[in-house]
Structure 1
Amino acid sequence: MQMPTPEQVLAQMEEKFGHEGVPNSIRLAMDVAPEMLVEQAMSSKMSMQSDTNALDPKTSLLVYFSAALGMKDQSCIDTLTYAALNAGVSKEELLSVVKIVRHAAFSGIVGAAEDVLKIIKEHEAK
């Protein structure tokens, strides 16, 4: 597998995300540690763009977007929003993912409150 140059990786990212969609951290890495860009590209190639990925590119992008939302990684969320819109993902599809992730986060909070609910129930039974 041919390794891209850092310049090629940055150019591909700008094409995919738009100039405004490339995070500042990527531009700084280009100056300080350009090998990080190549590593990032290889990680994407081995996961999102792998021949063994059973998901189509749009679904893969939405899964990645949902993970970024769940991790609250604002830079990644912004970049993936640009990427999704540039790839033809609709506003409605993006907002549906936001609502699903919000539901998952809420469900996690309810699950984490199990002991609180148990203690309240026991307290009320006295």
Structure 2
Amino acid sequence: MATAQVVKVLIVDDDSVIRGVHKMLLARFAGFQITEAENGKVAVDHFNDGNEFDLVLMDKEMPEMDGVKATRTLKEKGVHTKVVAITGDESASGAFLEAGADAFLVKPTKLSELVNLLKNFNLLN
């Protein structure tokens, strides 16, 4: 029997309710291992500590380090993990994409959008 692929996802948002919603959406799929971070600095620290992820869901407005700066920092460090900006600020897409984000979604996140994204990144069978 083949071993199922484990998909490691880092959810970065200062709002624990939003992190919970994203966890709930991802819980619909088997094999997802979720880690949470309450701001961009904590997210960067996870990578600095040697943790690896297949996908990062990144909010924009957060204390200590916002999502755009965190995305830029990760990409400048050579992190190849897919970073998806998920924010209520539609005007932030340019800043995120310039910082190196691989995709941009507007909150509230729709399951269909998340499924398409996961398929496009080959994280769903």
TM beyond 0.5: no
Which one has a larger percent strand, Structure 1 or Structure 2? 2
TM-score in terms of structure 1 length = 0.30
TM-score in terms of structure 2 length = 0.30
Which one has a larger percent helix, Structure 1 or Structure 2? 1
